[in-house]
A = this chain, B = another copy of it.
Amino acid sequence: MQLSTFTDYTLRVLMHLTAAQDQKLTTRQISEIHDAKFNHVAKVTQWLVREGYVSSTRGRSGGLHLIGDPSAITVGKIVRKLEGQDGVAECMRGDGGTCILAPSCELKSALHDAQEAFFRSLDNKTLASLTNGRIDPLLRKLNQSIVT
C-alpha cells in the first residue's frame, strides 16, 4: 500500500514552502535538496500552481510561494485530491479492471471505506502541524543554505 511518488514529492514540496515562509524557493532548489529529478518536481509544482496552493513568479527574485494559511491546509485534502480517484485495488479502478467478481463484490466497498478512513485520519493534520516542532529548524536550515 503505497502513495505515488507524485504525492510523496507534493507533500515534501509543501513542507519546504511552509517552512520557507516569506523566502522564495525555486523548483530547482527543491529538486536539488531532495536529489530528485527536476522534471518530476516541476510536474508537482505545476500541479500545485494549477490547484491554487502555490504562486510562482519569474525572474531573479522569483520563485515559489505558498498561498494561504498552512494551519488551514489539511494533508487529507491534498492526499484525497491526488489519490482519491484511484482505488487501492484493481477492481476499484475505472470499469472494475480484470476481476470477474468486480460487479457484485463486497470487497470493493470495504476497501473504499478503508481508504476513506485513511483520508479522514489525515484531515486532522495541517501543513503547519507537520512542519512545527522538530522538522522546522531542519527545513529552515536547508532552505537558507540553498537561497544564500
- Give the interface of A toward B (CB within 8 A): 1-5, 7-8, 11-12, 15, 33-35, 75, 79, 83, 86-91, 98-101, 104-107, 110-111, 113-122, 125, 129-135, 138-139, 142
A135 near B86: Cβ-Cβ < 8 Å = no
Which residues of B lie under 8 Å from residue A100 when comparing CB positions? Answer: 33-34, 142
Extra inter-chain contacts (17) besides given A8-B90, A34-B99, A110-B122, CB under 8 Å: A1-B2, A1-B4, A1-B7, A3-B88, A3-B89, A5-B90, A7-B89, A15-B101, A104-B138, A105-B130, A106-B125, A106-B130, A106-B134, A107-B130, A110-B130, A117-B120, A117-B121
When A106-B133, A134-B104 are in contact, do A118 and B11 touch as well, CB less than 8 Å?
no
The answer to whether A115 and B114 have CB atoms under 8 Å apart is no
